Structure 1
Amino acid sequence: MSDLIPAINISADQWTIADAEKVYGVSNWGGGYFKIGANGNVHVIPDQQQSSMKIDFSSVIKEIREENIQFPVVIRFHDILRSQVMNLNESFNSVIEEANYKGTYKGVYPIKVNQMREVVEEIVDAGAPYDFGLEAGSKPELLAVLAYNTNENALTILNGYKDEEFIRLALLGRKLGRKVVVVIEKYSELLMLVKISKELNIEPIVGIRSKMRAKGQGRWQGSSGDKAKFGLTVAEVIKSARYLEAQGMGHTLKLLHFHIGSQLPDIRAIKDAVNESARIYAELHKMGFKLEYVDVGGGLGIDYDGSQSTNDSSRNYSVREYVADVVYGLREMCDLENVPHPHIVSESGRALTAHHSCVITEVVGEIKPEGASISTELIEGEHILLSNMRALLVGMDDNINLQETFNDASQWKEQAAEAFKLRVIGLEELAKIETLYWQILRDVQTRSAEKTFTPEYTNVLDSTLSSQYLCNFSVFQSAVDSWAIGQLLPVVPLTGLDTPPVKNCSLVDITCDSDGKIDQFVIDHATSSVLPMPAVSEDEKCYLGLFLTGAYQDVMGDMHNLFGRLNEVHIFSHDDDPEDFYIEEIIKGTTVEEVLSIMQYHPRSMALDMKRLIDKQVANGKIRPREGVKWTDFYEDCLSGYTYLNTD
């Protein structure tokens, strides 16, 4: 029997790649980088300027296996990262020229979005022709940024709360000739900055962050308004500017910063915020403070669900529309107020990094809702509930009322559970009733799929009868946002999409935690609790891709159950290669020994202790010497191994 979703019940000879695209929506959320190829495999177009160059995920998986790299793995497409940096900068430069805007674009990448060295290096290199800078929000991030942002024409924006050491590091950057902007988040930071800068005789570049009245939308709308965690009120903005002026440092105030939230779904929120910030900038300028920059913060969203809507996981605008609203909004207000056009800064980290990284995991098992079945043959004297359930199954035909059958089966199953509690039926009778119940539901689903309309109960059936696919990964390590805040991340089978789905499933990971699951998917332009799966033969491995994981997922994952960082494979496109790509670098994930050390264990001592225990059993004659050596070696091999399942 098929577990097929009735709404997409299309025969194999009628199924097309267009049907697969409709179901999985790859082109909708793929940003032009991902699509389903004619062979039914997901393909990557890493450089949109060279659309003929396509990378087949099947080829990538094959090469990873040939390199003896264990799954799960993180795959980074560095060309996508570079392409996103170029697209953002070129979009701003193009609109600035089109609008006859007098300022320039000086973007920065906020490394909190993904602090991985390889990611930061790639962004810095790709952004060098545009003088694209970096942003730091903590002392460790500042240490990294000072070492990597060496372009003297690029900005280094420093957000977050600061202590004396943080400010001294910032002033070191100024001493090195860098354009380091210290953004004041609270008034006391300004007093400390002025004091230390005079002590060291180093002139700072000062920015102030304003609490905006314009409200963002989505999960992070609390970033603005009176209760915002960061920023100065209007009164504090004026007080700060005048304090600098009184200290003979009014000329150091160069930047106005605001931020109304990450992943903004609605373009109207951006319009309102730009309008408000432009007014503040203009008023400060007319008060005599010659600011040069307006930093519009982050917020440029990603269309995770492909709906192009105001859903929390989507956006109703394009990158160019976002850029145009920023540029034209600032120009219009500045022209009205007769003040110079400021240079524009943005901190669009999510938009730069999300697409470049994905997690590939292997399906290692299937957990069916019915589990095992037992014989349900008629036995004399059986309980009426069992007899009724059997009669319901036997009486299934083309003319039966499927809704009534579904209702009766569900009711009798519930009554059977109560009867067992009251000792009316035994364990074996309960098992037979449950076996019949699942057979009835499978039959009802199959017959419902043949109807020309979709009965109301089919959604319940789809969820009830869906399997759980056991996948070799940890949600808490690799898709933490899906667990923590319900963030939708696209999940797609990487091969076999040229055939119609035959099963519904949700995903569960290998952690010992009931929350280690993914049960929200982007299917057919909507959110579904099940993922349709194509047929997979028993001797064939099934791989799933979790996409758009390049923002935050890489750096926010924890080590629940001591599952560590994944193996990483870095991919570059290459037109002369037969497969259009090559693996540039492989970075091994954390070993068991490494994660234990992080948690203050001492693996070497543990290995010695285990050897002593095994040697004691050898001395007592309970383990043979040769066997003892093998067990000792096995324990040490496990310590040096990958934290995930070895499925090879």
Structure 2
Amino acid sequence: MGQNKNQQGQTWSISEAERVYGVSSWGGGYFKIGDNGHIHVIPEPSTPDVKIDFKAVIDEIRQEGIEFPVVIRFHDVLRAQVVNINETFRKVIDSANYQGVYRGVYPIKVNQMREVVEEIVDAGAPYDFGLEAGSKPELLAVLAYNTNPEALTILNGYKDEEFMRLALLGRRLGRKVVVVIEKFSELVSLVDLSKRLGIEPIVGLRAKMQVKSMGRWQGSSGSRAKFGLTIAEIIKAARYLESHDMHDALKLLHFHIGSQLPDIRAIKDAVNESAMIYAELIHMGFALEYVDVGGGLGIDYDGSKSTNDSSRNYTLDEYVADVVYGLREVCDLENVPHPNIVTESGRAITAHHSCVITEVVGEIAPDGAEIDTTPKDDDHTLLKNLYELHQCIEQQQNYQEVYNDATQWKEQASEAFKLRVISLEELGKIETLYWQIMRKVQAYYRLVDFVPAELQSLDFSLSSQYLCNFSIFQSAVDSWAIDQILPVVPLTGMDKPPTKDCSLVDITCDSDGKIDKFIVDHEMSDVLPMYDIPKDEPLYLGMFLTGAYQDVMGDMHNLFGRLNEVHIFSYDDDPEDFYIEEVVKGSNVDKVLSVMQYHPDAMARDVKKLIDRQVAEGNIKPREGVKWTDFYEQCLSGYTYLSTNK
């Protein structure tokens, strides 16, 4: 790649870009940096020759007149993940001589978008892959879409009679609908309702696991867990079914110890504990068929392959092996049948398939606009000191002293201005000189091995904020709410060294609308190496791994609604290896206003009356009034985000 240098003076290459941005580490085999410096998508890692250049996707989106920001869904990636988890379980089950089968389900709470659910159901059909619902609206959707009579429908969450009646409707339709009991009173209601309707239910019991989990959701296990039955309650529930001649209805044992499990040890321990409970229920005479190990299969968001909250220290193969071999070992020791295995790995299935593409629309630099600092005879001493320091900085031996002096004089200047000792113009010159000096100090310390602790925050202090055309609260709510790391990278230009450091801010009028936590060179950083904003073309950033939860959890802060969506399928016969299968329009202004109980039609009429009044009074010419009326109505029907199409 020639002799391009990064900001530390090192030779730049694609491998250097990979080290800095870590695309292959978090990309799951689906994303990489191409030789041309663009992000490439490999929809099916087993056929790496089919790859999509993200630049070509962006170009086609622009040609079609689709406004940014957009959500891009790679449906082949979604399908590949479904196949991958099912095939991995099949392979390990065969090699372990395990006697049960795998019957996974997708929990639609992770991403309830119809297109996502349809793809998962279709891709999972050969594996009898089912769905999970945790609310009545989700159950209504699942009953309509999970039509495979061999696939499971798992029902979690708290339930009322209407919820259970819907579950029994599923049984009437010939489906394997499993009602998972979260508290004992639910079982009483289910037994009563099933007898009244004459429909035999399939019952599952959720256990409160004692194993200690890790990560943000470790509260999903233990005695204080929100859901599940204690050991005493499990025994009571089993005996209750037995006393009502529904002994054979109990078919499934379920547990869940947390979403995004970073440490494989917690999974091993939980599988062992659940296998012991299963075996004891078999010994008690209950013919259970399934053990549902719940969700928790993690995603390596930060690429560190560690026990960080945003990572995992295991592979899919290791996870599956620990589940299969863990259950087999206990069952063989206890001389009980191997249960069929159920998992609810929604995050692992959906995260990679979706990303948010936003355009950088501006830069907020810490030093702002510079002004002329040519010295004058009557300049204040503080201004003269900074000017002299700036002029002779290259001759200084101690750059920490330069930093200390400049910082002290700037602070003194701020106080002097408050006391009217220096003028506003002099304060502006002092600020300009200060930031110029800090840039030189930063450049020096980037070339040396040791950086004093006091100066280690200099990169952040001098970094820019890139203004991006999207809303954190709509498209990356976990980034704001729980500090979830989501990979953010430029989509092009990575064949050249980055030119500056930056954090990201969105277009909401909220100070929390920012991203200032990134993974750079496999470490946490408060700045992201980036490129100058080009003058002749847009600069696009991609926020990846947003397919789980981020797609459906966003709010309408500042009335920024859902993004435009572009659905991509790979196609080897196409010159660019892809085609746009569907475009789903995002929220228009009138739609989000209507959700908040406004009436756009009435608003348009009211504004027209106000404009007509100004025309009648001669303050606005009639032709101009018509244009303003049309403009207001056009804005009501337009996209909620900034218009950046050139």
TM range (shorter): over 0.9
**Counterpart of 1:275 in 2: which secondary structure?**
helix
Q: 1:332 aligns with which of 323, 329, 335?
A: 329
Q: Distance in 2 between matches of 1:420 and 1:185?
A: 66
Percent of aligned pairs with the same amino acid: 74
Instruction: Show the counterpart of 2:307.
Output: 310
Q: 1:67 aligns with which of 57, 64, 68?
A: 64
* Segment of structure 1 superposing worse, 392-401 or 174-183: 392-401
Instruction: Show the counterpart of 1:21.
Output: 18
1:119-518 matches, cutoff 5 A:
119-451=116-448, 454=451, 456=453, 459-518=456-515
Summarize deviations over 1:92-117 as a string: whole Å, max 9, x none.
Answer: 01000000000000000000000000
Contact 1:496–1:535 (CA<8 Å) still a contact in 2?
Answer: no
One-letter identity of the residue aligned with 2:8: N
Q: Distance in 2 between matches of 1:478 and 1:80?
A: 20
Q: How many residues align?
A: 641
Q: Distance in 2 between matches of 1:262 and 1:299?
A: 4
Offset at residue 536 of structure 1 (A)? 4.5
In structure 2, stretches of 5+ residues that fail to align are none
Offset at residue 451 of structure 1 (A)? 3.4
Over aligned residue pairs, what C-alpha RMSD do you find?
Answer: 1.2
* Segment of structure 1 superposing worse, 617-626 or 325-334: 617-626
Q: Does 1:35 align with 2:29?
A: no
Offset at residue 24 of structure 1 (A)? 0.3
Contact 1:36–1:43 (CA<8 Å) still a contact in 2?
Answer: yes
Q: Distance in 2 between matches of 1:229 and 1:411?
A: 54
Contact 2:301–2:545 (CA<8 Å) still a contact in 1?
Answer: yes
Instruction: Show the counterpart of 1:98.
Output: 95
Q: Does 1:600 align with 2:580?
A: no
Q: Distance in 1 between matches of 2:560 and 2:350?
A: 24
Contact 1:216–1:224 (CA<8 Å) still a contact in 2?
Answer: yes
1:551-570 matches, cutoff 5 A:
551-570=548-567
Q: Distance in 2 between matches of 1:293 and 1:330?
A: 11
* Segment of structure 1 superposing worse, 553-562 or 408-417: 408-417
Q: 2:54 aligns with which of 35, 57, 66?
A: 57
Instruction: Show the counterpart of 2:8.
Output: 9
Q: Distance in 1 between matches of 2:388 and 2:453?
A: 24
Q: Distance in 1 between matches of 2:466 and 2:346?
A: 32
**Counterpart of 2:286 in 1: which secondary structure?**
coil
Offset at residue 399 of structure 1 (A)? 4.3
TM-score (structure 2 length as normaliser): 0.98
Q: Does 1:76 align with 2:37?
A: no
One-letter identity of the residue aligned with 1:63: E
Summarize deviations over 1:567-596 as a string: whole Å, max 9, x none.
Answer: 000000000000000000000001000000
Offset at residue 280 of structure 1 (A)? 0.4
Q: Distance in 2 between matches of 1:141 and 1:364?
A: 38
One-letter identity of the residue aligned with 2:15: A
**Counterpart of 2:180 in 1: which secondary structure?**
strand
Offset at residue 420 of structure 1 (A)? 2.4
Instruction: Show the counterpart of 1:112.
Output: 109
One-letter identity of the residue aligned with 1:277: S
One-letter identity of the residue aligned with 2:565: E
Q: Does 1:629 align with 2:623?
A: no
Q: 1:548 aligns with which of 541, 545, 549?
A: 545
Summarize deviations over 1:461-516 as a string: whole Å, max 9, x none.
Answer: 11011000000000000000000000000000000000001110000000000000
Offset at residue 406 of structure 1 (A)? 1.1
**Counterpart of 1:150 in 2: which secondary structure?**
coil
TM-score (structure 1 length as normaliser): 0.97
Contact 2:9–2:447 (CA<8 Å) still a contact in 1?
Answer: no
One-letter identity of the residue aligned with 2:99: K
Offset at residue 335 of structure 1 (A)? 0.5
One-letter identity of the residue aligned with 1:488: I
**Counterpart of 1:74 in 2: which secondary structure?**
strand
Offset at residue 431 of structure 1 (A)? 1.6
